[in-house]
Amino acid sequence: MKRINATILALSFACALGAQSLQEAITKTDNERFEAAAADFRALIAKDANKGDYYFYYGENFFKSDNIDSAFIMYKKGTEVQPTNGLNYAGLGKVQLMQGNDKEGNANLFKAKTLGAKNATVFMKIAEAYIIVPNPYKNLTEANKLLADAMKWEPKNPEVHLMMGDCILEQNPTEGSGAIKEYDEALKLNPKSAKGVLRKGKLYYRGRNYNVALENYKQAITIDPNFAPAYMEMAELYQLAGQPGTALEMIKKYLELNGGSFYAHKKFAGYLLLNKMYAETAAETEENLKKDPTNGYQLRYRGYAFDEMGDKTDKDANTKGLDAMNKFFEVAEKQKIKIMVDDYRHKGNLLFKSGKDSLGTIEYLKAIAIDSVKNCELYGDLGKYAAKAKKYDKATTFYEKRALCTKPMTGQDYFEMGKAYYFQAMGKIKEAGDIKDPKGKSKKEAEATPILVKADSAFKKLCDLNPAFPTGYFWRGRTNAWLDPGNKKGSALPYYEKFVNMVKPEERSLPANKANLIEAYEYLGYYYMDINKDKTKAKENWNIIKELDPANKKADAFFKSPDGK
């Protein structure tokens, strides 16, 4: 009997009503309406508990909704109720290869092939397993042979051509022409295939031809307005295009079509996080974790969200976020979730915020260890945290490692680095102040000099990169003032003058500028009074200080002095 598609062939011996019901359930799975499909499969099994196809497609429903353990149970049950049905052995083999059990996985796929001789559907499902499992378990050569046989038996089956396109693309990811040819052939056989149009769209997306990808996604929902996967793909595309609002609209439509399925809500949490809607992400993951308390991805999203929120939004954010990240790391290996740099980074952030600096540093170093070249710039973050904790020796060590990274230092990096050196030097000077022995005091003060030189070097690079940033010149002035005891050389003069000249008069009283300006003008006032002996310029600078700070005692002292009268 000639069939229209592979699914109908698999159901050819079922009654017309039963076949239609199963096809409807499979379509719901294709549309990612997993919970609605599950209800249909349960109803079908209740009517006929000995039909292996029902268990297989119910297992597929679980598999595609990321519930692999339940999928395996369903495939296993299918082999028990109908041992001669090859489909469920294909399902078992697929799961076993996904889990790294290649011996039993390949054995079950071989059994499926033996039982499903000349059955296009079984061969397609075996081929699909070899295509989608991770390396080193893929077998694209065998998949191609299986699909060639299926195509020989069912040349007018659009599903075979879709899968052949997938196989070709997996064999050569950078060349899409062969895959497009198969997808086009599938659409010739079934022009109303939203799934086929979506395949083309995803291929164009993969090739970064985003406009054509979007055209195909829109065409898919024109064919079938209820085809939920197209809305999900459009959400990703709009997110990439910097249109988070439209992306959220698409994901909400996806949710609506799925009837608010748990699978859809899990994806929704990810999109909320991508859109920086952290409070909403926390609320969504809280509800999702009530249904699946150990879901690794939801725990990850929750941890990230609380880290980004901070305790200003939720006073317990750090505690909640750290709890989520700790649980995430507990389940990640079991759930075969690949640990990412950001997992360590967010956990590290939460530990730092909780006052556990040593543990936070360990997590950051784990992140760097994943790829010490690619993630080298994280040393800069470690430097910031160490400086924030006033551990300047550690901070400068981290910044020195950051400076060796392949990725060039930014102006902000040099700014933070320079301040870390400066305050490290100030620590030496403070220690010197507590030493009574003149030689010991002098020796300790001398230790600060090379550190101040490093600070000035960092601030110089900041000014070179960002010449319009006034604060860079202020810090060069401050640092050089310490390198020139008694201001004998006037080393700080050009930098303080550059700083005050860059700040507009109307911006002098701004909180971000005022304190630094007073410090700079005080230096200039002393310089022109004591070193340059220019009373006019000295008065100009002390007058500006009086405008900024009428109660400034140093200015009062100047104007009471003979030079200030």
- Residue 392 burial (C-beta neighbours within 10 Å; 0-12, 13-18, 19+): buried
Number of C-beta neighbours around residue 356 at 10 A: 15
Is-same-fold flag (376-467; 475-565)? yes
Please identify which residue in the block is written with the tokens 């893929």: 138
CB 474 within 8 A of CB 500: no
Question: How many helices and strands, by DSSP H and E, does the chain display?
Answer: 30, 0
Name the residue among 8, 485, 267, 343 with its Cα closest to residue 275. 267
The pLDDT score that the predictor gives to residue 485 is: 87
Tokens standing for residue 169: 């693309």
Q: Distance between CA 544 and CA 562 in Å, rounded?
A: 19
Q: Distance between CA 463 and CA 476 in Å, rounded?
A: 9
Please identify which residue in the block is written with the tokens 């070179």: 464
Tokens standing for residue 19: 């076949």
Tell whether omega for the bond before 438 is within 30 degrees of 0, i.e. cis.
Answer: no
Domain ranges of the chain: 376-467, 475-565
Q: Distance between CA 217 and CA 237 in Å, rounded?
A: 10
The pLDDT score that the predictor gives to residue 460 is: 98
CB 548 within 8 A of CB 555: no
Q: Distance between CA 37 and CA 412 in Å, rounded?
A: 53
Q: Cα 493 vs. chain centroid, distance in angstroms? A: 46
CB 496 within 8 A of CB 523: yes
Tokens standing for residue 291: 């249904």
SS3 425: helix
Tokens standing for residue 124: 């397609």
Q: Distance between CA 193 and CA 161 in Å, rounded?
A: 12
Q: Distance between CA 270 and CA 357 in Å, rounded?
A: 29
pLDDT tens-digit readout, 133-151: 999 999 999 999 999 999 9
Q: Cα 56 vs. chain centroid, distance in angstroms? A: 35
pLDDT under 50 in the chain at which residues?
1-19
Query: Taking the C-alpha atoms of 474, 476, 479 and 484 in order, what is their torsion angle to the nearest 10 degrees?
Result: -110
**Which DSSP state fits 355?**
T
Q: Distance between CA 430 and CA 109 in Å, rounded?
A: 74
Q: Distance between CA 474 and CA 479 in Å, rounded?
A: 9
Number of C-beta neighbours around residue 543 at 10 A: 16
Q: Distance between CA 507 and CA 98 in Å, rounded?
A: 63
Q: Give the list of residues 6+ apart from residue 453 with CB closer than 8 angstroms, or none.
A: 483
What's this model's pTM, rounded to 2 decimal places?
A: 0.75
The pLDDT score that the predictor gives to residue 399 is: 97
Angle at 510 (CA atoms; ends 509, 512), nearest 5 degrees: 130
Angle at 96 (CA atoms; ends 232, 162), nearest 5 degrees: 45
SS3 helix, strand, coil % of the chain, rounded to 5?
Answer: 75, 0, 25
Three-state secondary structure string covering 159-188: HHHHHHHHHHHHHCCCCCHHHHHHHHHHHH
The pLDDT score that the predictor gives to residue 7 is: 37
Architecture of the domain whose range is 376-467: Alpha Horseshoe (1.25)
Q: Distance between CA 406 and CA 400 in Å, rounded?
A: 13
Given 1.25.40, 1.10.1220, 2.40.50, 3.40.50, which CATH number is that of 475-565? 1.25.40
